[in-house]
Structure 1
Amino acid sequence: MLLEKELFARSENQCELCRSTDTLSIYEVPPETQINADTTILLCKACIDQVDKKEQLDPSHWRNLSETMWSPFAPVQVVAWRMLSRLRNESWASDSLDILYLDEETLDWAKKTGDHEQEGTVDFHQDSNGMRLVEGDTVVLIKTLDVKGSSINAKLGTVVKNIHLVHDNTEQIEGKVEGQTIVILTKYLRKG
């Protein structure tokens, strides 16, 4: 509870990156394992979802980084640098990144996750119509599929409940057909 009070006081009851006052939470800046004011920041839900790649980056949401990147607090600087790096294709973000100075220790911390090397887009599991799929969804096959290594033939219109997303491949999900767990390509299904 003391940490939360300290962060709310430090941030003046605002998200430390975008300055929103909506739904603020403590965010532990990876890969740090100690939880204290030197390793955490106060973020709004929109920032957390985009930082953690649960939602696509919205460049307009991050415009305040040009100001908040000058925070005297290292965890704020680290996340600001990472987000500016992911947004580097935006001219304003590239300009901000060019003038942002981090001391050597803070820059090393910022680079530890490798997040700065990735582009800003996030891949999600999507069905054949481009609808986003989430863990536990129900889907319908849009094509009859022969299941390799099995005598099962998954017919057009088969309903697959409670799907599991294959985390390292956004083009695949797992689901049960005729009691057997199979891997299905997302291009052959639609959200039910």
Structure 2
Amino acid sequence: MRIKQIAMSLEQDLRDRSGNVCELCNSTTDLDLYAVPDSPESTTADTSIFACGTCRTQLQDPEQVAANHWRCLNDSMWSTVPAVQVVAYRMLHQLKAEGWPQDLLDMMYMEEDVREWAKAGIAEDTSSKGLVHRDSNGVILEAGDSVVLLKDLKVKGSSMVAKQGTAVRRISLDHENEKYIEGKVDGQQIVLVTDYVKKL
């Protein structure tokens, strides 16, 4: 009985805090609490958010994630609630390859302890995928990094040559091949081989 009371009071706390809307996308349907994984303490209002069914499903199953749904983080990432900031940060990090989430991550402000909490749920996620992209010096590359080309590279299927010394910003990673990354050169999205780039 006591556990049920605690759960109900926790839900009431979240309803009050959120104004009875999803703290991520502002939806008012199918609302329930979502306990933030890898939290520093047991489930409380401080380590939970009030989220709609769509957000909860996508948070729990990466296969279900629809990138456009998360454009709502453009607003909710400014929440003053640390748990909401953590979830926003992790989802933006997960979607970095889309391009626009990196812009939001660059703008996002978090207290240092909240940032550490957010990162705690990311480390194991990346290692579980198995593929590690490394530049010519063996430095690990992540989506959103910037690299410089170490030699002139002919772009397949075009007459374009990407010149040595060109900086390529906000790269995305090929999730099938650890030797390939993608980035824009002269406005054109091209595939680059990691052996010929150096992380900036």
TM-score, normalised to structure 2's length? 0.55
Q: Does the 8 Å contact 2:90/2:121 carry over to 1?
A: no
Distance between the aligned counterparts of 2:17 and 2:61, measured in 1?
A: 26
Structure 2 letter corresponding to 1:10:
R
Gaps of 5+ in 2: 1-7, 130-200
Partner of 1:99: 107
Partner of 1:47: 55
Equivalent residue for 1:17, pick from 24, 36, 40: 24
Q: Does the 8 Å contact 1:28/1:35 carry over to 2?
A: yes
How is 1:41-120 mapped onto 2 (pairs within 5 angstroms)? 41-53=49-61, 55-114=63-122, 118=126
Displacement of 1:60: 1.3
Deviations 1:133-181 (A, max 9, x none): xxxxxxxxxxxxxxxxxxxxxxxxxxxxxxxxxxxxxxxxxxxxxxxxx
Displacement of 1:39: 0.6
Q: Does the 8 Å contact 1:59/1:87 carry over to 2?
A: yes
Distance between the aligned counterparts of 2:47 and 2:15, measured in 1?
A: 15
Distance between the aligned counterparts of 2:123 and 2:57, measured in 1?
A: 15
Distance between the aligned counterparts of 2:33 and 2:43, measured in 1?
A: 10
Distance between the aligned counterparts of 1:13 and 1:19, measured in 2?
A: 9
Q: Does the 8 Å contact 1:82/1:115 carry over to 2?
A: no
1:27 is paired with a residue whose SS is: strand
Deviations 1:78-118 (A, max 9, x none): 00000000111223211111100111100110111226964
How is 1:124-143 mapped onto 2 (pairs within 5 angstroms)? none
> How many residues are matched?
120
Note closer, same or farther for the CA distance 1:39–1:25 as it changes in structure 2 (3 Å cut). Answer: same
| Deviating more after overlay: 12-21 vs 70-79 | 12-21
Note closer, same or farther for the CA distance 1:106–1:17 as it changes in structure 2 (3 Å cut). Answer: same
Root mean square deviation, CA, Å: 2.1
Equivalent residue for 2:12, pick from 5, 11, 16: 5
1:38 is paired with a residue whose SS is: helix
**Higher helix fraction (1 or 2):** 2
How is 1:111-190 mapped onto 2 (pairs within 5 angstroms)? 111-114=119-122, 118=126
